[in-house]
Amino acid sequence: MADKSRPVVEKIRCDACPVMCFIADGKIGACDRYANHKGELVRLDPLTIIDNVQQKGEKPIPFLKGSDWDGDLLQSSRPFVTAVGAGTTYPDYKPAPFIVSQPVDGVDMVTVVTEGIFSYCGVKIKIDTDRFIGHERAIVRVDGEAIGHVMTSEYGSKMLSLGGVEHLTGGSKKEGRVTCDALLKLCNCEAVEVTVDDGASVVIQAGQAPIVDGVKEQLMRVGCGSATIGMFAAQWVGHVDEVIVVDDHITGVLSEHQAGKLLDVPPTGIKIKGRRSTPGRYFQVAESGTGWGGTNVEDPLTLLKDADPKTAWQGLRLLLVSTTGQQYAYYELDSDLVPVLAKIPPELKKSAERIAENCEPSICSVLFMGGAGGSLRAGVTENPVKLTNSVKDALTCVTCGGANTYVWPGGGITIMADVLDMPTNAFGYVPTPALVAPIEFTMRLSDYKILGGHMGAVQPIENIMTEDVRRVPQIDTDANPNASYNFSWKKQ
């Protein structure tokens, strides 16, 4: 028989996401974002406002169609209400948690903020390195679960696509859980180690150098082998007879290259393996790897064929260098026309250092990508398509945690944002599984009324500027382009 003297623990049902947790007093839901506080459902993370410090003599820039607005929503002295800590519109029939109005340079503006529940979302990863990560289309895994794949290599960078609805909800429960956890950590600028099928192990963290197979990368390549020759050929003439720039994709040979021809570099008879593309440019000189120039080569002489005895000569000076300048070797041909390692002249060592100097630091970039679906848009207007049209017509600006977004062309509101431009812990999750990400829509109040906005829910910014809000400075990406500021929750 139950002990009737014991107090009954009252639970409340949270409707902030489809999980619909029952939460006891003093406890939190499965998402760690909502709690039962004496019978009231409360949001644990504070609403975050970006405080902008107006420079002396700087005029606030209104968001007006046809004006000289430069596209940067945050370059004014007004506080900007982000959706971080705002809560969600789920179950979607209700207005966004905060619809805030304030005058800007004599124009009434409104910002609609909500934390969207994104099942259709992912991240695009740019890894600045010459090292081999994995072949295109290779599966990327965490804890053995597939969370994405390798995309195309771009100029000096490897690209990954992680997440998406197929991994979040289209696979096993474990796959969805692991994928959501990895995305959450990456978006909140934490480190995640992934493995690529038939490829490398990579530690990824936004704004930090990648760690490939346990080695922290330093530099991304200055260009392909051909481009490197084009940039530095003039600095080699007179100091060396032949230069080979080793690269996984396009290896360059100075004497055959157009730059060498125009600088009157004579033929040398030095021949390399691989498939000749155009003069001085060779494909497939070696397999991909973590050696010279992103190849699997540790000894660069293995790239060479026998020198042509009709053209080559004893004493010929030969420089082999990688596209980052981190690997270089100098040789001179002996009487049998065999390259013999020699001490590199100061001028050539300086040129290798110049290549390295022109290489940018190797870092990881994490871009959140998601779409504002019909349910999220319903929190802004009773007629969601009008919001889409307003964004396409540049009447409404879309931001993500205060960060500028790239809105993809075509249908819908598909956005992409750099997580380094956002306050810390801007992302959450729900165990469906899905990411919770902040999204804001800013427009003129008159335009908001025209698109059928929830005018009855509009409130002046003074009403929400309480002592409980988290106030953070605007991120200065020019001052610190590769770091996320560690904002703290502080009262006014």
Phi, psi of 117 (to 5 degrees): -95, 110
CA 184, CA 187: separation in Å to the nearest integer?
5
Helices (H) and strands (E) in the chain, counts: 8, 32
Beta-ladder partners of 361: 219
CA distance readout (Å), 225 to 147, 342, 363: 33, 23, 21
* Digit-coded pLDDT (tens) for 294-323: 999 999 999 999 999 999 999 999 999 999
> Which letter, b or e, does each residue of 44-76 get, where b requires 16 or more Cβ atoms within 10 Å of its Cβ?
ebbbbbbebeeeeeeeebbbeeeeeeeeebbbb
Phi, psi of 118 (to 5 degrees): -110, 100
pLDDT of amino acid 92: 66
Give the closest residue to 419 by CA, choosing from 81, 209, 186. Answer: 186
Backbone region of residue 197 per phi and psi (left: phi > 0; alpha: psi in -120 to 50; beta: other values): beta
Q: How far is the first Cα of the chain from the last one, in angstroms, to the nearest whole number?
A: 53
Structure tokens at 465: 């500027």
Is the CB of residue 163 less than 8 Å from the CB of residue 122?
yes
Query: How does DSSP classify residue 408?
Result: P
What percentage of residues in the chain have a pLDDT greater than 90?
65
pLDDT of amino acid 290: 87
- Residue ranges of the chain with per-residue pLDDT less than 70: 1-9, 16, 18, 52-77, 91-92, 374, 474-492
Element (H, E) at 34: strand 34-37
Is the CB of residue 312 less than 8 Å from the CB of residue 269?
yes
CA distance readout (Å), 154 to 1, 125, 127, 142, 150: 69, 12, 10, 24, 12
CA 369, CA 469: separation in Å to the nearest integer?
27
At residue 327's C-alpha, the angle toward residues 321 and 329, to 5°, is: 60
Is the CB of residue 174 less than 8 Å from the CB of residue 180?
no
Which SS3 state, helix, strand or coil, does residue 413 take?
coil
CA distance readout (Å), 87 to 41, 69, 80: 11, 30, 16
CA 192, CA 194: separation in Å to the nearest integer?
6
The whole model's pTM is what?
0.84
CA 40, CA 13: separation in Å to the nearest integer?
10
